[in-house]
Amino acid sequence: MRRSRVIAAVGAVSAAAVSAASIAVPTTAQARTSLDRLQRVGGHLRAAAVAWPTRAVDLHAAPGSRRVVARVERRTRFGTPTALAVSRVEGRWAEVMSSTLPNRTHAYVRLADVVLTYDPVTLELDLSRHQLLAWRGNELLRAIPVATGSPVSPTPLGRYAVTDKLTNFDAFAYGCCVLALSGHQERLAPGWHGGDRLAIHGGGGIGESISSGCIHARESDLHWLLRRVPLGTQITIHP
């Protein structure tokens, strides 16, 4: 497939198509709230925390603010448990990213409304090399050749998170597997009506800049990502 189809933001997905729907939300006993593990090496995130809502929660403009900028349910529109990637913690609030927000915009959730967990796996997309790097702390787990957005509809820079892991989701268009991201395509190609969500999925043109903004990977690499990359994993996209 020479051009990526960005995941549409409408429509229900059958239970059989959602591989992550049965993922259990971590219990409080499993939570790790030691956010001193959040660290950066060479400018790239090398560890991350995830906030799992215990119920539908409001996202606020600032810590303690009454202004609500979005509301998220316990599960995403695809049936996956909602995993909010955490940027930092301020007092009783966690700064999080969500697909309900514009790119590079964060919001705040009360710590009392979420369970925090920690995982050292992070992703890094090097656009100039068409390479997706999977890290565990400072250890490089896998370097994956990919296709990225074309000059007309480039993959947007920034930091996003994996929100859903899907299989059998319109395999003709997306291949075996889809890792949906919290980010949005900001420069949709003329005439494109397929939605604006970013994702990692199947497709051709590996090593080229030819997609509508999504990240194409080979099937073997997608299966590896499904196994090794948890929900809420953060991905940094840079030139």
Residue % of the chain over a pLDDT of 70: 78
For position 25, what pLDDT does the model report?
Answer: 52
**227 in the Ramachandran plot: left (φ > 0), alpha (ψ -120 to 50) or beta?**
alpha
Query: How does DSSP classify residue 227?
Result: H
This prediction's pTM: 0.83
Burial class (CB in 10 A: 0-12, 13-18, 19+), 219: exposed
For position 10, what pLDDT does the model report?
Answer: 30
**Residue 128 carries which side chain, given as an amino acid letter?**
S
When comparing pLDDT for 18 and 88, which is higher? Answer: 88
For position 115, what pLDDT does the model report?
Answer: 95
Give the pLDDT band (50/70/90) at residue 174: confident
Strands of the sheet containing 114-119, edge to edge, are: 68-72, 57-60, 107-110, 93-97, 84-90, 48-53, 114-119
- Residue 12: how many CB atoms within 10 A of its CB? 9
CATH topology of domain 121-238: L,D-transpeptidase catalytic domain-like (2.40.440)
Per this entry, what is the length of the chain?
Answer: 239
Query: How does DSSP classify residue 154?
Result: P
Give the 3-state secondary structure of 43-84.
CEECCEEEEEECCCEEEECCCCCCCEEEEECCECCCCCECCE
Residue % of the chain over a pLDDT of 90: 69
Average pLDDT along the chain = 84
Q: pLDDT tens digit string along 185-218?
A: 998 777 766 678 999 999 999 999 999 999 999 9
Q: pLDDT tens digit string along 103-141?
A: 999 999 999 999 999 889 999 999 999 999 999 988 999
Q: pLDDT tens digit string along 140-166?
A: 999 999 999 999 999 999 999 999 999
Domain spanning 29-119 has what CATH number? 2.30.30.40
Is residue 29 within a helix (H) or strand (E), and if so which, with residue range? none
- Per-residue pLDDT at 6 exceeds 50: no
List the domain boundaries for the chain: 29-119, 121-238
Region 171-194: mean pLDDT is: 83
Nearest 5°: phi and psi at 16? Answer: -65, -25
- Residue 172: how many CB atoms within 10 A of its CB? 8
For position 44, what pLDDT does the model report?
Answer: 46
**Residue 141 carries which side chain, given as an amino acid letter?**
L
Tell me the C-alpha distance between 91 and 110, whole Å.
9
